[in-house]
Structure 1
Amino acid sequence: MRAQKCHPGRFALWGLVFMGVVVSGNMAFGQPRPEWRPLGPLPGDAMLSRYFEHEVAILRDNCLSEIKTRADWEQRCEEYRRQLREMLGLDPWPAKSDLKVTITGTIDRDDFRVEKLYYQSLPGLYVTANLYLPKNVTERVPAVLYLCGHSQVKVDNVSYGNKTHYHFHAVWFARHGYACLVLDSLQLGEIEGIHHGTYRYGMWWWNNRGYTPAGVEAWNCVRAIDYLQSRPEIDPERIGVTGRSGGGAYSWWIAAIDPRVKVAVPVAGITDLQNHVVDGCVEGHCDCMYFVNTYRWDFPMVAALVAPRPLLIVNGDHDPIFPEDGVRRVYETARKIYRLYDAEDKIGIFVTKAAHDDIQPIQEAAFRWIDRHLLGKEREVYDPVEKVFTPQELKVLEEIPEDQLNTTIHEHFVPAAPIVFPENAAQWLELKTRWMNLLREKCFRGWPSNMPPPAWNNAKEAEADGIRLARAELSVQDQIALPVYCLSAAEGTPRRIDMELLDENDWNRWLSSLKVRFSEILSQDLVTDEEKGLQGSEEAWQNVKSQLTSSPGTLLILLLPRGIGPTAWNSDAKKRTQIERRFMLIGQTSDGMRVFDIIRAIQAVRRQNTWKGLTLTIKAQGRFGVLACYASVFEPVDKLILTEIPATHRNGPYILNISRVMEVPQAVLLAADRNRVEVKTQMMEDYQALVAAARRLGWSEDKLKVSPTQ
């Protein structure tokens, strides 16, 4: 269906909005998609691109696929709502403390007034806001929570808050019979917190903690509704929400998790995983736009949680960060849930000729939808919005409170799990059972299930100086094949297997030795200019040769998990940041999937007929040693030898939600329950509690040994 072009204020166009099929301007997908740069030129980039496409297709196909009837939905929707709260860091709900609302000033106009106020959504978490109230009304009025996008307003290095930029929306509402509360966002408020932890500052531990600033924004909205419902001027049963860009995203969060929102109009605030991950729109968004995708949702699930309450999705037809095709896919999928309620008239989409713009047709679409569903009427003509205040007039705080937590709320909002160790065997059984369940459900949920046995492919062999090198590709997952290298003395039969996990530095070290004798078999695996230009070292080769010949019967397997060596992806720091963010959006991390790679390699070794019965030892250092711990918990080996592993996940490895479950010493204890483990470290004090716990459990040093690095 195609709407005729006409003046945006004319009724003929708007009548279509409420049938859920409105387009103003060009309805076709004729606008060019944003040209986000591809992941990169390396073979690993191409492999990763195919992988993301494959994973996104799975999540898209699974989204709401189990819902066939209204009963299906109603049986599940509250659990979905809880899952969303969890992915925002809001399960369990934080305790609702006293808001301590403080009004710091008022502004009077002929037809409305503004209260400048702040409240504490949590003790020390300040939310600066302006409340617009209509004058000359005798009954309680409906209220609109207006949520601001990413517009920084600073004068002489003083932040006035993005509420001051978007105030014209609130002026319109107040002049037309609504109360309107406009909130500053965390990063761009008068007290400047952080939205860009992973996007800009390398705070990948946010993924470990399950933290996202989207959760703070959602909680601030929950408390805003608490406040609105407490005001005597406001009808507590008629509260709506709207906002654009970042505020559009926050409109989604609050409408989905809080049924007190009776109508929602998110503007340019959502699209699907296809756009974000495959098409690359994630590169244009900061962290507040995303929940931590533990349960591996596609975004139509968020829209569905608003059903059957009135919802209008508004967007420009060539918005570069919310492309039209993805916005429409979200709408079409969510509409299936509205259809189950016989409420298709309660969901609409308005797409007009615009980029990421705050223009009058978009504003009018929001006003008309809210009018219809909160006031029960529509206006014949919608006058344009008007800016009437300076930032200085709307500023709330004279000075920043000394007890504010806004700038460090990421450290506190989602608590880390306590560091506990068992006192006895009964407590250990309880702890390890709980940890294993949490690891499966919260940390490694993104692993594929029902995989066929791992297979070795494209095997090649060569011999030099009495040493045999075999290279094969190990298919660990759809779209992911990893090179594996096996080294042994050319004569004799393997009697034991050592598997070394290589990071990028280890790979370069091994290359410098193996290139001396095996440059031909390695040639296909040299993908970067640095690797191709790396000179072989005769001394390094002699050390390798000595290592193998002095330990007869040892088969040495070199495993390079995804993203290392031949499967390395783009080395540009900004592009790598966006690759890691893509992993989070599909409910994974690159480190979490490397654990899966190690598991599959262990399975492949165990399946090899000629190696059956041989002892298998895994050797790893640094953060890869921690990955080996987690892998051995799910797929045991005979022994782990871990060198200089970190004692905390703060600086890696990064695994979704892991810090809400355990820390590294607890992971070592869990690994030692099923494997012999030796930890070599210069930081012996970090493992004293671990060793003490092992003694309480009666474990021998052969089961868990912690010793200083020589």
Structure 2
Amino acid sequence: MRTLYLPFAAPILILVLLVLSPCSRADDTPAVSPDGDRLVADYFEQQTRLLTDRSLADIENLEDWTSTREMYRQQLLDMLGLNPMPKRGELHTTVTGEVRKGDVVVEKLHFQSMPGLYVTANLYRPAEVDEPLPAVLYVCGHGRVVEDGISYGNKVYYQHHGAWFARNGYVCLVIDTIQLGEFEGIHHGTYREKMWWWNNRGYTPAGVEAWNSTRAIDLLQARADVDPDRIGVTGRSGGGAYSWWLSAIDERIQAAVPVAGITSLHNHVVDGCVSGHCDCMYMVNTHRWDFPMVAALVAPRPLLISNTDRDSIFPLEGVVDVHAKVRKIYELYGAEENLGLQITSGPHHDTQELRIHAFRWMNRHLKNDESLVDTVATKLFDTKQLKVFDELPMDERVTTIHETFVPKATLNKSPSTPQELATLSESWKKLLHELTFAGWPDDVSTKQTLTNFEQLTRDDAEVIFAQYDSQAPYCLPLIIVRPTKVEKKTTEKKQATTASPVDVVVLDQAGWDRATSGLAVVDPQRYPNMEPSQDVWNEMIESGRPTVLIAPRGVGPTEWSRDERERTHIRRRFMLLGQTVAGMQIYDVVSALKALSGHREDFNLAGPWTLSGTNDSAFIALHASVWSDSIAKLKLLNLPISNRDSPDLLNVSRVLELPELLTMATSEVTVLIGGSNQAEWRKLAGSAPLLSSIDWVVE
């Protein structure tokens, strides 16, 4: 028999809560959760609007901007993995050959932006140079050139740009990217390779491309044939994005033409353009920016934003929106003439119209030349003529740079006393809040409450179905199972009973499916598509202890698509919002514990709580315990050993590793570890004194 369960002494208050809560419904039938895909789409739209509305919103005058500009620049460096900036060592520039056609000479060269990080390049210059010339760094998009299994680099694909600049009085350095160059590194870590640990490290190949570009400017400035005060940058698609990174962080750039390299956060997240872009197009959005913030850092230097009107991955409306917002900053400087917007007809192609405008922009701002462009950008050289290496060097780090580019956190000394641990824990939590969980709602301390209680009473148990508002639009399920035969604890001296311990279980999708197969025994109407399992139900009640089931977003009724590609780009959308799925699931669990804490007496849950999880849910439970004071014990089964093997959290490996997090947890709660990797955890605990208190689950 189903009855509405109102556990408080003030039923009027409950009715008010039911009316005000977005979880509420008009009748007493079970709440039907929105479709998971629609719900996550609504969430992305709300969060994107939040970031878009606040982008540059607090800048009212030039002083507002100039007083915060350096802070924003440091934030961008941080999000590119360049804070602190790597050491500028010797470039070891090596010219491996020259080719000439007409009045254009190409130097085939390579340099090392850091030891072993080779950058292959072609430098185009006039055959005769009488004085230092303006220079242009051309950063390539994704233009793969492979013949007979040999990669010649995307510099070959874009050679016509370098040739035009050389024929018109420039030195032009065209550099390969770490992917699609003569070395074939990786841009597709999260896009295709499932390297979600890149987020844990705060790594993006955009940072490497930005770093290589700054070192390319070092190379140009060191040349006798280059005027070091007249250097510009341009490139399209991926090269458009790298033009933005370089122009924003390096003020040596005196003119910039990013082509098809930027659009709004709304286009990427809400409209789904993220699915057309690899990881090099994005900073790790720790500080939760919209892209006009990047553009604003170029002001007041000459900047031409260039795009076509039918570019499916850089849509017109987003490009126009970025221009409109950055125009505000140029107006504050009184430098509106230094900002241009060029929109030509066409798709995402390297069209002649785009080239001509870029050439004229560089002529105007690097040569003070307004004459008409009367030469066409054409390819002058055969592919094989432009290859730099006969054989790739064995000491190269291009193909593995993602392993080391952003350093992991290291402890100078592991805490050996509770006092040392307390000091470190405070520092760790502060950094986690700033670098990992900055995407949590600002009202994280707001009191939570449960709503929409429904109770099913049986001979063997009571089941209470409830919901709680975690973060709009997410209203999440919380289920309490109270066996009729409740376990009691008895003290030896007083022979008095105390409240039974409570098991609070964090579910992943597999756990939800299994749990609801048991719940379908008692409420088949609620789970009509689930095959009831009496065995699972018996397991849920056999301990005699109350059990609370928590299903964070993306699990159970809020599960989104199971299509692997769609799930990949959902995860990437979270990253673009300065969040991750796991990070927000941790927030959901913390919110659930807060909501449940207000009902300990109402539901006879006054006993000590054990928070448990298995596999990835163990990781979620461990992190949630650090932000909750409701937990007495943690039970973690198959807990991953390292961040790299865990769900992704932004920058977490820049703060601490899982053993340090576990050490922090053991100072507050009792920890039990079990499962398939228990032996590995035992080994780690043996070398860490403060992990000696861990209890081990007997298999």
Q: TM-score, normalised by structure 2?
A: 0.90
Alpha carbons 1:624, 1:653 under 8 Å: kept: no
Unaligned runs of 5+ in 2: 1-32, 489-498
Q: Deviations over 1:330-383 (max 9, x none)?
A: 111111111110111111100111110111111111111111110011112443
User: Deviation at 1:621?
Assistant: 1.8
* Distance in 1, Cα, partners of 2:539 & 2:425: 41
Does residue 1:648 correspond to 2:661, yes or no? no
SS of residue matched to 2:480: strand
User: Deviation at 1:683?
Assistant: 3.1
* Distance in 2, Cα, partners of 1:652 & 1:689: 17
* Distance in 1, Cα, partners of 2:261 & 2:363: 21
* Distance in 1, Cα, partners of 2:578 & 2:636: 28
Match of 1:113 among 90, 101, 105: 105
Does residue 1:222 correspond to 2:214, yes or no? yes
Q: Deviations over 1:490-511 (max 9, x none)?
A: 5779744321011111112212
Instruction: Show the counterpart of 1:203.
Output: 195
Distance verdict in 2 for CA 1:188–1:53, change over 3 Å: same
- How many residues are aligned here? 650
Match of 1:578 among 565, 569, 574: 569
Match of 2:558 among 567, 589, 595: 567
User: Deviation at 1:623?
Assistant: 2.1
Instruction: Show the counterpart of 1:499.
Output: 504
Distance verdict in 2 for CA 1:709–1:145, change over 3 Å: farther
* Distance in 2, Cα, partners of 1:545 & 1:174: 79
Alpha carbons 1:684, 1:707 under 8 Å: kept: no
Instruction: Show the counterpart of 1:162.
Output: 154
Matches within 5 A, 1:47-446: 47-418=39-410, 421-446=414-439
Distance verdict in 2 for CA 1:350–1:509, change over 3 Å: same
Alpha carbons 1:421, 1:689 under 8 Å: kept: no
Q: 559-568 or 459-468: which moved more?
A: 459-468
Distance verdict in 2 for CA 1:125–1:692, change over 3 Å: closer
For residue 509 of structure 2, what is the amino acid of its counterpart? E
Does residue 1:686 correspond to 2:678, yes or no? no
Instruction: Show the counterpart of 2:25.
Output: none
User: Deviation at 1:390?
Assistant: 1.4
Instruction: Show the counterpart of 1:540.
Output: 536
* Distance in 2, Cα, partners of 1:348 & 1:134: 29
SS of residue matched to 1:577: helix
Instruction: Show the counterpart of 1:657.
Output: 651
For residue 572 of structure 2, what is the amino acid of its counterpart? R
Alpha carbons 1:207, 1:655 under 8 Å: kept: yes
Q: CA RMSD in A?
A: 1.8
* Distance in 1, Cα, partners of 2:241 & 2:374: 25
User: Deviation at 1:426?
Assistant: 4.4
Alpha carbons 2:521, 2:532 under 8 Å: kept: yes
Match of 1:522 among 503, 527, 531: 527
Matches within 5 A, 1:581-620: 581-608=572-599, 610=602, 613-620=606-613
Does residue 1:448 correspond to 2:441, yes or no? yes
Does residue 1:673 correspond to 2:667, yes or no? yes
Instruction: Show the counterpart of 2:461.
Output: 467
Q: 478-487 or 573-582: which moved more?
A: 478-487
Alpha carbons 1:640, 1:678 under 8 Å: kept: yes
Alpha carbons 1:421, 1:690 under 8 Å: kept: no
Instruction: Show the counterpart of 2:517.
Output: 512
Alpha carbons 1:669, 1:690 under 8 Å: kept: no
SS of residue matched to 1:119: strand
Does residue 1:706 correspond to 2:698, yes or no? no
Alpha carbons 1:294, 1:443 under 8 Å: kept: yes
Q: Deviations over 1:550-604 (max 9, x none)?
A: x2xx321100111111111100111110000001000000001011001101100
User: Deviation at 1:680?
Assistant: 2.4
Q: TM-score, normalised by structure 1?
A: 0.89
Distance verdict in 2 for CA 1:378–1:294, change over 3 Å: same
User: Deviation at 1:461?
Assistant: 2.0
Alpha carbons 1:186, 1:195 under 8 Å: kept: yes
For residue 592 of structure 2, what is the amino acid of its counterpart? A
SS of residue matched to 2:525: helix
Instruction: Show the counterpart of 2:622.
Output: 629
For residue 542 of structure 2, what is the amino acid of its counterpart? S
**Identity over aligned pairs, percent:** 46
Alpha carbons 1:666, 1:690 under 8 Å: kept: no
User: Deviation at 1:466?
Assistant: 2.4
User: Deviation at 1:614?
Assistant: 3.9
